Amino acid sequence: MAKIGVFGSTLQSQAMDIFRYLLRDGDEYAVAPLSDTDGCSDIIVCVEDAPGLGTFRGAGERTKFVVNPEHKKVLRELPKKGAELITCGFNGKDCVTASSVTENDLQICVQRNIPTLDGRILEPQEFCVALGPDAGEKRPELALLVVTALLAAGADGLLMTCEHKF
């Protein structure tokens, strides 16, 4: 089971809501606030630019960090070696971006190869992810971080269905 830790304070609960919406009961992904992960996460998604990540010691050599490269405080605190960085945002240099945002969904654009936890390589492509009413317009950057973390976890098949409904 893939363990995803969510780092942040004010946006953490909103990110957890998006994870819960996208994941179905029985999916092979455990998502929890970083403080509740018992110090071992396969993926750490940094949902806001806040200091404190450097105090967390649960990142291993194979931990994947999903970050917005505009979050400079978080970037300064990332481990200097061994960890994999996957960027997402609205910049053409990011690994994952959104080419379109509507009130209900995101058109995801994978721009770089992403190694998944199960050993596959997710190649560049575009697909739609339905997020429910207003989720895309309210916090598209947060939804993009959540989707990127799930892609790195290997949940691309789940996300590409675009059939999630409230």
pLDDT at 81: 63
CATH architecture of 2-159: 3-Layer(aba) Sandwich (3.40)
Say what the alpha-carbon torsion angle 113, 71, 31, 2 is, to the nearest 10 degrees.
30
Residues in contact with 104: Cβ distance below 8 Å, sequence separation at least 6, in sequence order: 130, 131, 132, 133, 134, 135, 136
CA 85 to chain centre: 11
What's the half-sphere exposure (Cβ side, CA atoms, 13 Å) at 60?
A: 10
pLDDT at 94: 95
DSSP string, 124-139: SEEEEEE--TTHHHH-
Spell out the per-residue pLDDT of the chain, length 166, in tens: 889 999 888 889 889 988 988 887 667 888 988 875 556 789 999 998 877 776 666 666 678 999 999 998 888 887 766 678 999 999 989 999 999 888 778 899 999 999 999 999 999 999 988 887 655 556 889 999 999 999 999 988 877 765 544 3
pLDDT at 137: 55
User: At CB < 8 A and 24+ separation, what contacts does 91-95 make?
Assistant: 93/69, 94/69, 95/148
Taking the C-alpha atoms of residue 27 and residue 97, their distance in angstroms, rounded to an integer, is 24
pLDDT at 135: 59
Q: Are strands 64-67 and 43-46 parallel, antiparallel or unpaired?
A: parallel
pLDDT at 105: 82
Q: What are the strands, taking DSSP E only, across 10-119?
A: 29-33, 43-46, 64-67, 84-87, 96-101, 105-110, 114-115
